[in-house]
Structure 1
């Protein structure tokens, strides 16, 4: 595992006093970690996939495994939201899931590089299995009743099969257009109002 020393971060202004402040402080440090990852050179995979660590991060995360889990949780939440949106807007589940995964991988490329570099870390095993299960369920390759190992294996196989999906460029307003179309045409369209006669 890479153990890169990083410069001090912005988020260490004051020690949090309560649960809400602790949550916000942890989120701020995680944002700073991601910003640091985004500023790394992409070509040097050893440097770009190393896990950052410094005194500010150590104040908030118990160890590097805790930081890895936090990065994976962020990744999983973003993926779940994108999967939900993709499945609502598109008709083909497998294509929607592949596109959603590729889009999140592009949005969070530095995080994905770190997670891929530490994919076999024991702290991530259950989290990775749950994310793969979520992918399999969304793609229609598994059911809720399937054992975690079975659905996770199907999700991992799906990810491997669709690893080279290119996310098509969306034009501005595509979501609004998609959401308003059912209301501007079709069986539920209101008839134009007639003017009242004087």
Structure 2
């Protein structure tokens, strides 16, 4: 759960000035968070374009014998891009992930993993990151559900056992400074 790495308490426990040994200060933590979220909206839209384009290209409505894959991605871009792609854009020709990398119709899983991670971490935030006993109890529940059950149940069921509800993108948007 990489989200822990951006929490002040966590960083102060592991990040120290190389000369003085002083723990990282709040201003530097703020800069780290700002750097992480620089152009977050643009990057999120880009990943959504890739994911939605992947799904559209692998949908039964797309006929590779008669449909233009570049036009298909362009149509997705109309919904996900601030600016249109250049007419000569041939990004798809090198998008090996969805054609030769084992992610056909699965590229969305990158963004979905971020949703699950952020929403899972939000449970710890809601419990109170400074409340040691609450964090320990929630950590046990995380270990027993997410880590302990693994693939023995559908992922959605495991997440719901941990979180008590289905996942939402709210925490990801908040952690990205987009909400």
**Structure whose CA Rg is larger:** 1
Higher RCO structure (Cα 8 Å, ≥6 apart): 2
Sort the TM-score into its range (normalised by shorter chain).
Answer: under 0.3
- The TM-score with structure 2 as length reference comes to 0.24
- The TM-score with structure 1 as length reference comes to 0.22
